Amino acid sequence: MNWISKTRGIAILAVLMIHVNTPLLYESQSSVWWLGHIFDSLSRLAVPLFLMISGALLLHKEEPVGFYIEKRAAKILIPFIVWSVIYFICKLSGEFNVKLFIQQFLSGKIYYHLWYFYILIPLYIFIPFLRRFVRYIPSSYIIIYALISSGVSTINDVIGIYGLNMQVFSNPFSVGVSYLLLGYIIARREYELKYYQLYGAVSFLIILLGTYLITAWRGTLSQVFYDALGLPVLMYAVMVFYLCKKCLNGSTPTYKGQFLEYIGKYSFGIYLIHPLLLTLMTKFPTFSISASTGSPYIMMPVTFVVVLSCSLLFIIPLSKIPILKRIT
């Protein structure tokens, strides 16, 4: 299962790429927009990979519910609350309004990247129930459930352009649960996905070209096919996850594998701190670093490397301190 750590490294690199690239998606110059759009489309598998990793690592276990809740709460809730406070204070330039914090915390408006916790925490609560019957669900049923749930989500995204929704039909289906189950069957069962390269390539082209066509039609950026819970992203992410299992599970160490495993080890801390660093990097008038300053073809990779390096420089020392390592 050493491929899981490497896949986690790919997922966090994809998260960084999405956030570094965001300014380019609002550029009027066509070539710059395409630069951001291509890398953004490639990186849309980030959250799905993290969720499938959770399914792969958690659904097969047998442990008391109380022990599971205590362990997961300490690992998730403490960093979530602490970093929410940190980002809230930074956003208000040092001020802290308790009432406003509670309002924004409960509504998920503290900072953009923290939305992941609002998906992850309910899924973690549901995991003990999934463990009870996941072993008895045929893999084909899980595939069908995933296709239906993500399909409904994509339909909702598309008709949402016209102010419509079919939310009542999507309530029984959670794409987050689909990702947990898919991660479990891919990692823990000898299940062979047929034509996964074809489905993955087609789904990526749908993300790439579909986003372009709707954006050109509406005259403003459309994220319908960027949706991590939609069908194109699900199929693309499943293809990559399956490919990681087949290609990254070797026992012979390689520089690429060691790099991904190292990044994966600190992925949670990198996820938590990198938006703060990205913001700080734009605060220096004479030395601002972002993908949209200067030539994007140079500054995009420079910004990516700088924010990754700085994240590691902060997180690695914090992870060595007994008290502070609990929030990384």
pLDDT bin (cut points 50, 70, 90) of residue 164 is low
Cα separations in angstroms, 208 against 133, 196, 203, 211, 244: 37, 18, 9, 6, 22
pLDDT (tens digit per residue) in 274-298: 999 988 888 776 677 888 887 888 9
| pLDDT 10s digits, 122-148 | 888 888 888 888 888 888 888 888 888
pLDDT band at 306 (very low <50, low <70, confident <90, very high): very high
Give tens-digit pLDDT for 46-89.
999 999 999 999 988 888 888 888 888 888 888 999 899 988 88
Confidence (pLDDT) at 307: 93
Which pLDDT score is estimated for 13?
95
Tell me the average pLDDT of the chain: 86
Query: Band of the pLDDT at 25, cuts 50, 70, 90?
Result: confident
Mark 207-237 as b/e (b = at least 16 C-beta within 10 Å).
Answer: bbebbbebbeeeeeebebbbbbbbbbbbbbb
The C-alpha atoms of residue 36 and residue 170 are separated, in whole angstroms, by 31
Residue 310's pLDDT is 92
DSSP 8-state class, residue 235: H
On the question of pLDDT at 170 being above 60, the answer is no
Planar angle of CA 88, 77, 69, nearest 5 degrees = 165
**What's the pLDDT score for residue 285?**
63
Question: pTM for the complete prediction?
Answer: 0.90
Residue 51 C-alpha from the chain's centroid = 8
- Residue 173: which pLDDT band, with cuts at 50, 70 and 90? low
